Amino acid sequence: MSAYSITEPSRRAKLVAGVLVCLYAFITLLPLLWIISTGFKSGPDSISYPPKVIFEPSLEGYVNLFTTRTRIAPEALAELPPPETFYDKIVRERDMVIAGPSRFGERFMNSVIIGFGSTFLSIFLGTLAAYAFSRFKVPLKDDLLFFILSTRMMPPIAVAIPIFLMYRELGLSDTHLGMILLYTGVNISLAVWLLKGFIDEIPREYEEAALIDGYTRFQAFRKVVLPQAATGIASTAIFCLIFAWNEYAFAVLLTSGTAQTAPPFIPTIIGVGGQDWPAVAAGATIFLLPVMIFTILLRKHLLRGITFGAVRK
Amino acid sequence: MAEIVIRNLRKEFGTFTAVKESSFTIGNGEFFMLLGPSGCGKTTTLRMIAGLELPTSGEILIDGEDVSQKPASQRDIAMVFQMFALYPHMNVRKNISYPLVSQGVPRAQVQAKVAEVARILGIESILDKPVSGLSGGDRQRVALGRAIVRNPKAFMMDEPLGALDAEFREHMSEELRALHDRMGATTVYVTHDQLEAMQMGDKIVVMNHGVVEQFGTPQEIYDHPATLFVADFIGSPSMNFLRFQGSFRPGDRAVTLGGVTMETPELQAEAGARDLVLGVRPEHVTLVDSGAYRGRIIAAEYLGTTQIVTLDTSHGTIKARAPAGQVARVGETVGMTFRAPTLALFDAGSGRAFRTSANAGVHHG
């Protein structure tokens, strides 16, 4: 007699579930795969119809992304010394020479500074505020918490024009500081609420034990509460970073040069020298990497973090 | 080690008063029990002694020094929590050494001290394990280790056995008591379990609704409860209460209820006609046919060496602890006698015991 288990799914159920998950993953990942592969296509391959799934890989997109180029006459090209590097070679095949680096590097660094800067600030302030809300008697605590949450109730872009005017007056337009403050302002409510939940879950006895063991309140916070809240901090940081990293509307509105981030920059590639889809796809691919790496690094914490509190340990 | 004096201690949380004007003294080296039902203020009292709550008013003296407004870190006491509160991100060794590290004790000394504590508690083999995988008993030992490693002035224990299963609790309570006897440390122990309090404590404070009901040795509290609450809370089955109306004068040696004269210890107080309660422990009720006070047996529970016989009388039900061999048939009416020196007489209105020759020396809360 074969034994049936009530709690274990049957082999058939597992098989069906497996197929469904794979199918879903494929559908979800397809656009991503398409972008990554487009980044390695040559210009003509990227717009060929029917679309090419198998193609000869080329780094042209990446070279175009990081450089500006000038077209010169074939006779002049022939007189030049032979190309020194692989990217010189790729460019010359298109009758062009490299005129200099593109702005992508700078814009990417802006994204890194603004994204990670605002994430750090949100987490720093959010953790302290959440700890205070969780542990101390704060006058009007509930009203304050609701007020903090209410800042998320309207889409931030609804106040775009007041913010635009305000930033112009304050000289914060197109500055790193301005963008960091803006993204921190949007993220802080999320950070306070998420982290308060995590800190509420940490039994007070841990800190009390530390207080009795001779530590000050701040030492107890740093040495006992923070390591316990690491999971919550990691998952909150990922949420904050994803928002700040991907934000487009405010970036378009408030930045144009010095502090322009990658999202508003990438589409501008289309306008320069024709619709260079491989370069756009290359930009998008590189743009994906930091959040992906950050999430993978914190993955262990994130998995525990998202289900935190669901099950009592 | 230290003597702890509590004077008129009071704690209010908003409009709720958790502890009302409590006073008692914990002697040097005593194993002191704070006993009471949940919400009686015993944990709040402990937390005030430890410095985790600041009192609204009153004084806490440790070794003669008023520490009532000092932070916990300056009081030099150690605490064992109900859920142990071991630092989950550290291994056993780090947990135990943590209080020493906070004081800046040199590393070699920390190592030596931790090794010594581990030997006392028999946990040498688990020193390098993470605390998350430990059994309840080992966690308890680690928590104790963290408390004793520092040689503090006193130990606070908040229901330290509450999280253990019944069988292990017994074993651990013996271990705790033995550890205390060996170290001679002043220990304040919170529990809601009267058996635990009787079994382990040198002194017991019984609290209810934020008030100290009685303060004394286990024997005093069991034999001469100061209030109806204490009489009811301590003992299983608890004291029988016979409610009647009557009066007495100092020097009387008996009261009359339902026409039957009951001998009592010599009464030292005076009471005009009022509602009174006569208290008698089940083991001091003897079922004899000659007994003038009579009741009908409504149940008998066999417990091996003894049996608990429940009787219906004109003043309510009475439980008697009788020898297991005695015949007690349900439905029969039998006589009973009460052992006179053990009886207590309470005022039904205030719930307080009247002074008699028996309880004269007992401290009333």
Q: Do A166 and A80 lie in a common domain?
A: no
pLDDT for position A305? 56
- Distance (Å) from the alpha carbon of A220 to chain B's nearest alpha carbon: 11
**Residue range B205-212: average pLDDT?**
93
B276 backbone dihedrals φ, ψ, rounded to 5°: -125, 160
pLDDT for position B277? 93
- ipTM of the predicted structure? 0.77
Q: Model confidence over A43-69: pLDDT tens digits?
A: 888 888 888 888 888 888 898 889 888
pLDDT for position B239? 94
pLDDT for position B363? 58
List the single residue in B with minimal CA-CA distance to A213: B99
With beta carbons less than 8 A apart as the criterion, state whether B235 and B222 touch. yes
pLDDT for position B89? 84
Q: Model confidence over B22-78: pLDDT tens digits?
A: 899 999 999 999 999 998 999 999 999 999 999 999 999 999 899 999 988 888 899
The CA-to-CA distance between both ends of chain B, in Å, stands at 26
Q: Is A295 among the domain residues?
A: yes
- Distance (Å) from the alpha carbon of B143 to chain A's nearest alpha carbon: 10
Q: Which residues contact B171 (CB under 8 A, 6 or more apart)?
A: B137
Q: Do A213 and A114 lie in a common domain?
A: yes
**Residue range A188-213: average pLDDT?**
90
In DSSP terms, B254 is beta-bridged to B263
DSSP secondary structure letters along B244-302: EEEEE-TT--EEEETTEEEE-SPB-S-EEEEEEEEEE-GGGEEE-TT-SEEEEEEEEEE
Q: Spell out the domains of chain B, with CATH numbers in brackets.
A: 4-223 (3.40.50.300), 239-347 (2.40.50.140)
Q: Is A260 among the domain residues?
A: yes
List the single residue in A with minimal CA-CA distance to B87: A206
Q: Is A157 among the domain residues?
A: yes
Q: Model confidence over B292-338: pLDDT tens digits?
A: 899 999 999 999 999 999 999 988 899 999 998 888 889 999 999 99
Alpha helices of chain A — where are they, by DSSP H?
A: 11-39, 43-46, 60-66, 74-79, 86-93, 104-135, 141-150, 160-170, 176-201, 204-212, 217-220, 226-246, 249-254, 262-265, 277-297, 299-306
Q: Model confidence over A280-309: pLDDT tens digits?
A: 999 999 999 998 898 888 887 766 655 544
Q: Model confidence over A134-159: pLDDT tens digits?
A: 999 889 999 999 999 888 888 878 88
Q: Do A73 and A154 lie in a common domain?
A: no
Q: Do A152 and A52 lie in a common domain?
A: no
pTM of the model: 0.77
List the single residue in B with minimal CA-CA distance to A211: B73
- The region of weakest confidence among A89-93, A284-288, B31-35, B208-212 is A89-93
Domain end position, chosen among A62, A80, A102? A102
Q: Specify the number of domains making up chain A.
A: 2
**Residue range A88-116: average pLDDT?**
89
Indicate the residue of A213, A216, A224 with minimum beta-carbon distance to B99: A213
CB contacts, 8 Å: A222 with chain B: none
Q: Is the peptide bond before A139 cis (omega within 30 degrees of 0)?
A: no
Residue B353 CA to residue B280 CA, distance in Å, equals 12
Residue B176 CA to residue B343 CA, distance in Å, equals 34
B1 touches chain A (CB under 8 A): no
The residue whose two tokens read 């959010």 is A126
pLDDT for position B285? 93
Q: Is A32 among the domain residues?
A: no
Domain end position, chosen among A52, A77, A102? A102
Q: Is A17 among the domain residues?
A: no
Q: Hey, are the CB atoms on B51 and A210 less than 8 Å from each other?
A: no
Q: Do A162 and A265 lie in a common domain?
A: yes
Q: Do A62 and A129 lie in a common domain?
A: no
Q: Above 70 in pLDDT, residue B365? A: no
- Distance (Å) from the alpha carbon of B225 to chain A's nearest alpha carbon: 35
With beta carbons less than 8 A apart as the criterion, state whether B295 and B311 touch. yes
Q: Do A286 and A202 lie in a common domain?
A: yes
A210 touches chain B (CB under 8 A): yes
pLDDT for position A313? 39
Q: Is A116 among the domain residues?
A: yes
pLDDT for position B161? 85
Q: Do A274 and A167 lie in a common domain?
A: yes
Q: Do A110 and A47 lie in a common domain?
A: no
Q: Above 60 in pLDDT, residue A311? A: no
User: Whole domain around residue A53: which residue ranges?
Assistant: 43-102
Q: Above 80 in pLDDT, residue B189? A: yes
Domain end position, chosen among A102, A126, A146? A102
List the single residue in B with minimal CA-CA distance to A230: B89
Q: Is A196 among the domain residues?
A: yes
Q: Model confidence over A236-251: pLDDT tens digits?
A: 999 999 999 999 999 9
Q: Hey, are the CB atoms on B87 and A216 less than 8 Å from each other?
A: no
Q: Above 50 in pLDDT, residue B159? A: yes
B333-338 β-sheet, strand order: B285-287, B333-338, B293-302, B306-313, B316-323
CB contacts, 8 Å: A312 with chain B: none
Report how far apart, in Å, the C-alpha atoms of B219 and of each of B187, B197, B340 are: 19, 11, 18
Question: What CATH number does the domain containing A153 carry?
Answer: 1.10.3720.10
pLDDT for position A78? 81
A-facing residues of B in 30-69 (CB < 8 A) are 50-52
Q: Is A36 among the domain residues?
A: no
Between residues B253 and A310, the one the model is more confident about: B253
Q: Do A266 and A299 lie in a common domain?
A: yes
Q: Do A155 and A260 lie in a common domain?
A: yes
**Residue range B208-212: average pLDDT?**
92
Q: Above 80 in pLDDT, residue B1? A: no
Q: Do A88 and A112 lie in a common domain?
A: no
